[in-house]
Structure 1
Amino acid sequence: MTLTVQPSKHILIVPVHMWGHVRPLCIASARMVKLRPTLTLTICIASRMYDRARTEIMRDFAHDDKEPLSRIRMISVYEGKNTLDPEALVDNFLAVWNKLSSGETVSAKSLDGVERSVNLREAPLNATLIDSYALEIFMALQKQRESSSTPLHLNIYTWLPVATNCIPPLFGVDMWPLAEAIAEREGISFNDAAHRICAEPVGRLVECAGMPPMYDHEYSPQAFPSGAERCGRIFIKVPRMLAQTDGILTIDAADYQPEVTAAMRAQLAETGRKMYYAGPLIANAESGTSSQRKQSAQDTADDLPAEHGQQGVLDFMDAQLKARGERSVMYVSFGSMFWPLDPAKLLVALEVLMEQNVPFVITRPSPFAQIPDDFMKKLEEYGQVYIADWVPQQALLHHPAMGWCLTHGGHNTTLECITAGVPMIVWPIVMDQPTNAVHLSDGLNVAYELIEVRNGHGLGRIYRTGYTPVGTLDAVREELRDVLARAFGADGEAKRGRVEALKERLLSAWQGSGSGQGRLKDGSGIGRREVEAFLDDACARVPFTGGGVAVAA
């Protein structure tokens, strides 16, 4: 009997230096190497994300399962000091790429701790998976693929770390030519023209599949400052990238918003491409485990008394469970990057939580997160609050004392809340957060959307209700009081029941796959099938062994 040896496959992955983009890609990477025993992944990771990403990937493995870890290799890339701009990461990655594509060897380290260099002549590359926010990397590789005298047999795929419901309204039309025309006609820079198109709403009504009609200003309810340069370098060019990519792998779950899923699939199918729905990508980390508690105990509750910081967030939750019972605590989280654009409204919201005697946990990992010293004293006097730069979010959400999550509505937190059975109060800021807020509150009826917290041009009229927010601090206070009364009453319990039903549907995406137990067991969930389809398609081409022309770094 002759055994057929399957040829090895190799995919290069490039996320940007934002944890919300990196974390789910870590879980996807773990699942990929478990699904394909001949697959090697090389991940070019921002230097400050290196250790955290390594830990996150390893969470999805059994302790004794070392072999797949040897096939995940990480190259550290310096990302610069700007947490919102990928410019330095792009330049430094392209320097690495030029070495790889010219046949040079680049040092890396596999997750089993062994130094393993990367050389494309020894390990030919089948595909790249580029973060959509690293659009400039995509464009550089695409240009190389099109212009090189040596054909680059290389699939270039896009990693989409957002809910796909925001793609049609925000990036459904290529506005690049319009920006060029405006710049030429009015004698302004391309970046300024792009900013006018991307960041200056005019009251235009936007209609797309799966979402109710909304005015353009409703897609930026906090009037988040995009900046003219980033609008010109990145945002105005996203539709062009989506039109040129060989396919899109997203963190979104196919069953989260089926109408949008169908519309996105149909759009890509028109050009023979596919949309792969990998979500929900939740690591195998059960709440309450000793490792999670140990990790939590090492966290620091900044600026609060020492004894409070040493308590650990899960111990805080245990104390609240004993004192107040199940579902009593509010979790306040705006993700790793965002913070309300009008901080005074957040302070009012926290005052209402204290007034209503609601215990809460609040995280502030964002570089923009600030709580004034005098307000910190109020929180200290209140006592029933835990503040930290970071908490083990999955363990926290699965704790029986967890009642509600006050969130910006980013898709990582949204999916983690749903799969933990926790209903939400949504304070959206930008990107997929406004579309998630509408879908969660109006479409799924598992959340409340805060309206009076809007500011700037976000205070315009709401199309679906006809209401124009007042936006004052008093209006925020009254709205949140009303929401809390409903959330901790019969209406809130009805929402919790709907979350539970949605939870079961989304968890079935990886059901039966045995994720977290080494090699994935057989499973028929849609998330697993989508990732397998992505791997089949991504590795189908003759691999690239180097020899292409260099790209500008």
Structure 2
Amino acid sequence: MAIQDPVPEPKVHVVLLATEAWGHTRPLCTFAARLAQTRRVNVTLFTAPNFAERVEAELSRSFGPSDEALRDLIRVATLDMGERKTVDALGFAAYNEAFARAYAKLVDGDTIICAHTHKKIKPISAPDAVVMDFFCVSGLEAVRKLSKKPVKVLAWMACHASVLIYPFAPESRGGRGDYRPKVMAEAASTGRPIEEVAEKVMNAYTGAIVRVPGLPLMYDYELSPQVVHLEGFAGVFYMMMQTFIDACDGTILVTAEPLEPEGVAKIRAWFAETSRKTYAVGPLFPLGENAVSGEKAQSDKPTEIDEFLETTLQSSGPKSLLYIAFGSLYWPTEPEKIWAFLDVVMEKKIPFILSHASPFAVVPDEVTAKVKAYGLGILSKWTPQQTILAHPVRNWLVCYTLRYKQYPRSHRS
């Protein structure tokens, strides 16, 4: 057995919290590993019951057998959400409330019980910093209220920089400006519910041309190309995120600055106006000796996908595969468009893999049968994304763009 170098006693305690979406939680696991490996700090990573096992598996991808001491710096605590066990990233009130209860115990030096393993997590020093998803505004409020010393709260933004600028940045930085005052004023004057007014104001598209830093010119309605499950909630949802952005002490962007230099620069300048820092830390992929095998172990069809990649490479050549990737939460409200798209793909004899992990995703039996008969496609709940993207057979990537309201028919071609 290799002799491990002793790990110095950590002097800093960082708390991590992502929302209940795997696309936000997965990179946070790698971020936790990097903190332990490069900074030697204590990390408490809170997660939801439905992600508990995946978080442990994802963390293991960044560590080998000789890294046990570093891995032990990361404490995974599943939040106790009572009877609510299913994913709920749209409202997630129970999630934030469970975090507030657990954070209070950290501050007071009390033992925490992991709701998944039921193991005791011993007290350590009170948190020095919190990195949390910018969806979790009530979680931020809990940190401000419960902390007994100054604690930095950094916004975890697991998305492209360009996605953040138009909805949240001031007009001087390429955004549309804060629409909260307009919503509150109209709700007060009309007596209409805030949710209704916020939805109306947010989706008041005029056909104007907008310039989002790092993206081509586009019409404003192109920012909302389809209906998803946030219909009727998106306006207030965005107001919550705007509140978090205004209140946090800085931001961590899970994007690569060389890929989005203009967008990152705009966000950095925007936050610098209030003496806050921006860190671009992506992309975040595990690099440990278990990185590849650990990812495949999480897939529902690892062997089948491996074999499919190799046989497709032999039969169709490099850059011949279409990878269609949907996230772990959001799913189109008009899935028939997906099946129509697959029909065209199969007519063109294009090999493909479709990943559909969302709990809302239901693949009709006739679609499953058609893909099976086609023989050049795979439908999978969980796919080893890094493996597929890195394989020489992969050419095109189609992923689901999350937008919140379908634009008016008068603007559609």
When the two structures are superposed, what TM-score results if normalisation uses the length of structure 2?
Answer: 0.86
TM superposition shift of 1:18: 0.7
The within-5 A match list for 1:275-314 is 275-284=278-287, 295=297, 299-300=300-301, 312-314=304-306
1:358 counterpart = 2:355: no
Distance 1:283 1:12, change over 3 A: same
Alpha-carbon distance in 1 for matches of 2:254, 2:42: 21
In structure 2, the partner of 1:158 is 155
The within-5 A match list for 1:79-478 is 80=84, 81-85=86-90, 86-107=92-113, 117-119=121-123, 122-143=124-145, 152-172=149-169, 173-229=177-233, 231-232=235-236, 234-284=237-287, 295=297, 299-300=300-301, 312-408=304-400, 428-430=401-403, 456-457=406-407, 461=411, 468-469=412-413
Question: One-letter code of the match for 1:395?
Answer: T
1:235-278 Cα offsets, whole Å, 9 max, x none, are 21322321221110121111111111111111111111100000
TM superposition shift of 1:365: 0.7
Alpha-carbon distance in 2 for matches of 1:89, 1:114: 18
TM superposition shift of 1:216: 2.9
Distance 1:141 1:291, change over 3 A: closer
Alpha-carbon distance in 1 for matches of 2:268, 2:375: 50
Query: Is the Cα–Cα contact under 8 Å of residues 288 and 399 in structure 1 kept in the other structure?
Result: no
Query: Is the Cα–Cα contact under 8 Å of residues 299 and 391 in structure 1 kept in the other structure?
Result: yes
TM superposition shift of 1:40: 0.2
1:312-337 Cα offsets, whole Å, 9 max, x none, are 21111122222222222211112222
Query: Is the Cα–Cα contact under 8 Å of residues 19 and 336 in structure 1 kept in the other structure?
Result: yes
Distance 1:460 1:137, change over 3 A: farther
Alpha-carbon distance in 1 for matches of 2:393, 2:217: 38
Query: Is the Cα–Cα contact under 8 Å of residues 285 and 394 in structure 1 kept in the other structure?
Result: no
Distance 1:41 1:158, change over 3 A: same
Question: One-letter code of the match for 1:71?
Answer: L
Query: Is the Cα–Cα contact under 8 Å of residues 49 and 79 in structure 2 kept in the other structure?
Result: yes
TM superposition shift of 1:378: 1.7
Distance 1:275 1:459, change over 3 A: farther
Question: One-letter code of the match for 1:367?
Answer: P
1:63-88 Cα offsets, whole Å, 9 max, x none, are 32111111100111145324332222
1:365-395 Cα offsets, whole Å, 9 max, x none, are 1122222222222222212111111111111
Query: Is the Cα–Cα contact under 8 Å of residues 324 and 353 in structure 2 kept in the other structure?
Result: yes
| Structure 2 unaligned regions, length at least 5 | 1-7, 170-176
When the two structures are superposed, what TM-score results if normalisation uses the length of structure 1?
Answer: 0.66
SS in 2 for 1:322: helix
SS in 2 for 1:226: coil
Alpha-carbon distance in 1 for matches of 2:349, 2:406: 31
In structure 2, the partner of 1:16 is 19
TM superposition shift of 1:220: 1.1
Query: Is the Cα–Cα contact under 8 Å of residues 33 and 68 in structure 1 kept in the other structure?
Result: yes
* Percent of matched pairs sharing the same residue: 27
Distance 1:132 1:291, change over 3 A: closer
Query: Is the Cα–Cα contact under 8 Å of residues 288 and 395 in structure 1 kept in the other structure?
Result: no
| Structure 1 unaligned regions, length at least 5 | 146-150, 301-309, 409-427, 432-454, 462-467, 470-553
Query: Is the Cα–Cα contact under 8 Å of residues 194 and 228 in structure 1 kept in the other structure?
Result: no
Structure of greater Rg: 1
Distance 1:286 1:323, change over 3 A: farther
Query: Is the Cα–Cα contact under 8 Å of residues 19 and 89 in structure 2 kept in the other structure?
Result: no
Distance 1:327 1:342, change over 3 A: same
Which has the higher relative contact order, 1 or 2, with Cα contacts under 8 A spaced 6 or more apart?
1
Alpha-carbon distance in 2 for matches of 1:160, 1:175: 21
Distance 1:34 1:153, change over 3 A: same
1:205-250 Cα offsets, whole Å, 9 max, x none, are 4444333443332111113352445632x32132232122111012
